[in-house]
């Protein structure tokens, strides 16, 4: 474990985290999805309020990874499915994603599931490499209906050790 990983605190999200979590999600959107969007689709997404709604409806279920008291990443899962794993761009490459992923996998396993599943988009090479490095296999593809943009979704799965 590195000195940086020792500074990680993974905890449930708190109501006062909402604005910071919305900012984190928008920053990862801007660095990952926005470059793949048309200007019109980006405008529509920003006007939709989806990010604020997501934090409002599921934020109480998020796990937050803090470094020195500041949110560095967030994760959301349900049953055996990982809905989201986002790391602040300034904290990417520092082990935050790996720490959150390991935490979620342990929670999923402790809940009695033998596998973890998640989705990413075909254009997201960084995400695909990250999950591949952590033992996830790409098992299916289908049209991405969430973004209404012609993206292809990739379903990934990992068997969890007992």
- Whether this prediction's pTM lies above 0.85 is answered by yes
At residue 1, the pLDDT reads 47
pLDDT by residue (tens digit) across 29-88?
A: 999 999 998 899 899 999 999 999 999 999 999 999 999 888 999 999 999 999 999 999
CB contact burial 81-97 (16+ within 10 A = b; e otherwise):
ebebbbbbeebbebbbb
Residue 3 pLDDT:
52
Determine the average pLDDT of the residues in 1-29: 85
- As a whole number of Å, the end-to-end CA separation of the chain is 22
Band (pLDDT 50/70/90 cuts) for residue 126 is very high
Q: What is the mean pLDDT of residues 121-130?
A: 94
pLDDT in tens, 89-114: 999 999 999 999 999 999 999 999 99
| Cα–Cα dist 31/26, whole Å | 9
DSSP letters for 31-45: HHTGGGS-HHHHHHH
């Amino acid at each position: 474990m590195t000195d940086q990983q020792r500074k990680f605190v993974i905890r449930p999200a708190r109501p006062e985290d909402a604005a910071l979590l919305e900012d984190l999600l928008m920053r990862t959107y801007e660095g990952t999805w926005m470059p793949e969007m048309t200007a019109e689709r980006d405008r529509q997404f920003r006007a939709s309020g989806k990010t604020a709604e997501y934090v409002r409806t599921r934020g109480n279920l998020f796990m937050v990874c803090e470094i020195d008291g500041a949110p560095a990443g967030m994760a959301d899962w349900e049953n055996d499915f990982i809905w989201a794993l986002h790391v602040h761009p300034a904290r990417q490459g520092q082990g935050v994603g790996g720490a959150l992923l390991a935490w979620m996998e342990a929670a999923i396993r402790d809940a009695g599931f033998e596998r973890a599943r998640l989705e990413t988009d075909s254009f997201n090479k960084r995400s695909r490499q990250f999950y591949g490095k952590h033992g996830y296999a790409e098992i299916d593809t289908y049209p991405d209906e969430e973004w209404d943009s012609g993206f292809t979704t990739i379903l990934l799965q990992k068997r969890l050790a007992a």
